[in-house]
Structures are given as structure tokens and as C-alpha cells.
Structure 1
Amino acid sequence: MRTRQGRLGWLFASPYLVYAIVFFAIPLVWSIYLSFTDWNLISPTFNFKGFKNYLDAFHSPGVQAAFFVTFKFMAVFVPMVIAFSIVVAMIVHGLPRFKGLFLIGFFLPYLASGVVSSLIVKGVLSYNSPLNEFLRKSLGLDINWLGTPFAALFVVALIIAWKFTGYYALILTSGFESISKEVYEAALIDGVNPWQRFWKITFPLLYPALYTVLILSIGVTFGIFTEVYQLTGGGPNFATNTWQMEIFTRAFSNLQAGYASAVAIIASVVTFVSIFIIRKLLELWGKRNGWT
């Protein structure tokens, strides 16, 4: 019976295992192998180059920019999307009725195409757009939204925050719902004001949901591509050149698939190490607030 149950378990797990092998394991091994070659994506033959691709990548301005740009996006995007998500979650949590309907409305941007939303924003921020015409004529402001390093980075971060706010608010709303009302009633008796109640009670008790949202949002910053590709192409002057943009440019524009594979492996290691360190720091914060 135990053997039969084991076989049945493997049978039910086999679709995912096959999927993981075909679309994750095999491409990973192949990418590692290609990172030591000079394959140009077209030629049927290629030469072994050893660690030259990795050495070139470490000295590449594009790779160095991708490393720092990722953390710049993290510094702008993560606080922004967390703040937006908490506000939306608090609003929905306070509604007496139709919470699910409002959550669906906020969740819809997550389902929107990144290409379409980026093209719309590009039109809104173009030089002759009504917005820029108004800013120039009424306020005397001539802002090059996508041609200024910080403005371009902020615009991309804002688009992604708009897209993910509803998704993260859904998670945080479940966190708000899990907090016992008795805790707030006891705080009210003790004379705790709303500001103290949020920072001393709600915020620490929201840790499981916040932990999930923080890890997810940090992971997003290492995979930004669509918005950057459509709006800035990694510019100006590498100001929005993410890992994915660097890999795409090297592989499909410069036809350096071997080099791009090396960059992809470096990006994977940086992503894993960064998230691991941040996760440990978040767990320490959780332990200080009584979570194990």
C-alpha cells in the first residue's frame, strides 16, 4: 500500500517535474555551458573561452550599471509600492461591504499588459503631450521625463508600483483581517492614539503579510524589463539599465549569446545572495517583534 501511494504521488507530481526539467533545469545547464563559449546566437559552431566572458562582464559598464540600478529601483520602488499597498489595504479593510469588489478593481492593473501601459505612459509623457504643454505654458516647467536619469527611473518605478499595488494590497488585506479586534479594544482602553496603534500594534502584527510582500517586491526589481525596454531602452546613460535589459541587449542586439549567458548567471547569483541577505534581515526584525 505504501509503495502504491508513493507511485501515485510521483504520478501526480510528474507534470510539474517534467515542466521544471524542460523549462528550468535544462535551460540552466545549457546557459551555464554557453557562458564559457563565444556563441553568437546564429552560428552552428562556437569556441570555448573559459572565464573570459565573466571577466569581461565584471569590467563592463553595462553590467556595473545593472548592479547599481537594481538597488536604485529597489530603494524607490519597494517603499513606494509598500506604502500604496498599505493605504489601499487599510481603505478596503475599513469598508463595511463589497470588500471583494473593490479588491478586484485594484487588482486589475496587475493583469494589464506591461507593453500597453508603457506605451500609454510614453504618450502621456511625450514632449507635445497635453500634460507637458500644460506644464510649460502654465507653470514654466519643461521636464524631460524619460531623458533625465532620476526622472526616468522614478517613472518606471511608478508604473510598476501602479501595476503591483492591487496584488500586494490583496495580501495585506488578509493580514489586516487576521489581527484580532480585541487587541485594538485593549489599546483603546489604555488610551493609545491612532498613530501609536498603527506603529506599535498593527505594523508588528502585520509582519507575515509584510514579509511576503517585501520579498515579492524585492524580487520584482531584479526582473524589470518590459517597462524599461519600451520607455528608455536602458538609458539615459545606463540610468535604467537593468539586468534583463543588459542580457537582452547583449544576446539579441549584439549577438553575444555566450556573454549574455555569463551575465545571466552573474545576475542569478546576485539575485539569490541579495534576497537571502534581505530575508535574514527581515526574519531578525520579525523575531524582535515576537515572530519565530
Structure 2
Amino acid sequence: MNKKTTWLGWLFASPYLIYTLIFFLFPLLWAVYLAFTNWNIIAPDYEMVGFQNFLEAFFSKSVRAAFLVTYKFMLMFVPIVIAGSLLLALIIHSLPRLKGLFAVGYFLPYLASGVASSIVVNGVLSYNSPLNVFFRKHLGLDIDWLGSPILAPLVIALMMAWKFVGYYALLFLSGLESIPKEIYEAAEMDGAVGWKRFWYVTIPMLHPAFYTVTILAVGLMFGIFTEPYVLTGGGPDYSTHTWQLEIYNQAFERLNAGYGTAIAIINSVVTFVSILVFRKLLEKWGARHGWE
């Protein structure tokens, strides 16, 4: 009976295992192999070059820019999206009724195509858009939103925050709904009301939601492609040049598949280490408030 149950379990799991084997494991092993070659994605022949691709990537200006730009995006996007999604969750949580309707409404931007959103933003911020015409005519301001190394990353970070704030708000809303009322009643008896209640009760009790949202937001920063590709192409002066743009440019624009694969592996390692650091920090914060 146990053998029959075991084989039955493997049988039901086999479609997913086969899918993973074909579309994840084989490509991963192939990518690791390609990272040590000079394949140009077209020629049938290529040579093994050892660690040459990795050494070249470590001293590359564009790779270094992608590394720094990712953390620059992170410093802008993560605080904005966490604060915005938490505020939105608190507003929805305080509604007497129709919470689900409002939650779904704010979730809709997450479903919008990144290309479509970028095209809309590009039109809104173009030189002859009503917004810029108003600024030039009435305020005397001629703002090059996507041509400034300071404003361009901020525009992309704000656009992505608008897209994801509704999704992350659902996670915070779920956390708020799960806090027992007895905890608030006990805190009120101890004098924790208003801001003190929010800071010393609500925030610590939302640790699982903070943990999930932060990890998701940090991981997202290492996969940015659509928005900078459509809006800025990585410019100006590498100010919006991300890992995915660098991988795309090397592998598909310059046909350096081996080198592009090496950059992708470096990106994976940097992503893993960064998320691990944030995990440890969040776990320490949670441990101080009783979350083991």
C-alpha cells in the first residue's frame, strides 16, 4: 500500500517535475556551460575561454553601472512602495464596508502591461505634453524628465511603485485582518492608544507582511527591464542601466551570448546575497518582537 501511494504521488507530480526539468534545470546547466565560452549565438562553433567572461564583467563600466543602479532603484522604490502600500492597506482596513471592491480596484494597476504603462508615462512626460506645456507657460519650468540622470530613475521608481502598491497593499491588508482584537484591547488597557498603538502593536504584528513585501520588492529590483528599456534605454549616462538591460544588450544586441550568460550568473549571485542580507535583518527585527 505504501509503495502504491508513493508511486501514485510521483505520478501526479510528474508533469511539474518534467516541466521543471525541461524549462529550468536543462537551461540552467546550459547557461553555466555557456558562461565559460565565447559563443556569439549564431556560429555553430565556439571555444572555451575559462573565467575570461567573468573577469571582463568585473572590470566593465556597464556592469558596474548596473550594479549601482539596482541599489539606487532599491533606495527609492522599496521605501516608497512599502509606505504607500501600508497606508493604502490601513485606509481600506478602516472602511466600514466594500473593502473587497476597493482592494480589487487598487490591485488593477498590477495587471497592466509594463509596456503599455511605460508608453503612457512617456507620452505624459514628453516635451509637448499638456503637463510640460503647463509648466513652461505658467511656471517657467522646462523639465526634461527622462533626460536627467536624477529625474529619470525617480520617474521609473515612482511608476513601478504605482504599479505594485496595490498588490503589496493586499498583503498588508491580510496582515491587518489577522491581528486579534484582544491584542488591541490589552494594549489600550496599558495606555497604548493612537500613534503608540500603531507603532508598538500594529507594526510589530505586521512582521510577516513586512517580511514578504520587502523580500518581493528587493528581488524585483534585480529584474527590472521593461520600464527602462521603453522609457530611457538605460540612459542618460547609464543612470537607468539595469542588470537585465546589460544582459539583453550583450546577448542579443552584441551577440556575446557567453559573456551575457556570465553577467546573468553574476546577477543571480548578487541577487541571492542581497536578499539573504535583507532576510537576516528582517529576522532579527522580528525576533526582537517575538517572531521566531
Task: State the shift of 1:209 in Å.
Answer: 1.1
Structure 2 counterparts to residues 217-236 of structure 1, below 5 A: 217-236=217-236
CA distance in 1, matches of 2:8, 2:194: 54
Q: Kindly provide the amino acid, as one letter, of the partner of residue 220 in structure 1.
A: L
Give the secondary-structure state (helix, strand or coil) at the position aligned to 1:149.
coil
Instruction: Give CA-to-partner distance per residue, 1:215-251, whole Å, 9 cap, x none.
Output: 1111100100000100011111111111101000111
Q: Which residue of 2 aligns with 1:73?
A: 73
Alignment partner, residue 117 of structure 2: 117
Distance 1:267 1:4 in 2: 43
> For 1:114-166, what per-residue CA distance to the aligned partner results, in whole angstroms no more than 9, with x for missing partners?
00000000010011111011111111111111111121111111111111111
Paired residue for 1:35?
35
**Where does 1:196-235 land on structure 2 (aligned, <5 Å)?**
196-235=196-235
3-state SS of paired residue (2:142):
coil
Task: Using the TM superposition, give the Cα deviation of residue 73 of structure 1 relative to its aligned residue in structure 2, in angstroms.
Answer: 0.8
Question: Which residue number in structure 2 is paired with residue 174 of structure 1?
Answer: 174
TM, length-normalised to structure 2: 0.98
User: Which secondary structure state, in structure 2, belongs to the residue aligned with residue 145 of structure 1?
Assistant: coil
In structure 2, the partner of 1:195 is 195
Identity of aligned residues (%): 62
- Displacement of 1:97 after TM fit? 1.0
Residue of structure 2 in register with 1:85 after alignment:
85
Deviates more, 1:178-187 or 1:235-244: 178-187
Cα distance between partner residues in 2 of 1:72 and 1:28: 29
Counterparts of 1:263-282 in structure 2 under 5 Å?
Answer: 263-282=263-282
Amino acid at match of 1:62: S
* 1:59 and 2:59 aligned: yes
Q: Report the 3-state secondary structure (helix = DSSP H, G, I; strand = E; otherwise coil) of the residue aligned with 2:150.
A: helix
Instruction: Show structure 1 runs of 5+ residues with no match.
Output: none
Give the count of matched residue pairs: 292
Could you tell me which amino acid in structure 2 is paired with residue 271 of structure 1?
A: T
Q: After TM superposition, which residue ranges in structure 1, 4 or more long, deviate above 4 angstroms? A: none
CA distance in 2, matches of 1:92, 1:6: 46
Find the counterpart in structure 2 of residue 104 from structure 1.
104
Amino acid at match of 1:186: A
Measured in 2, the distance between the counterparts of 1:96 and 1:11 equals 48
Q: CA deviation at 1:181?
A: 1.5
- Whole-angstrom distance in 2 between the partners of 1:14 and 1:193: 54
CA-atom RMSD, angstroms? 1.0
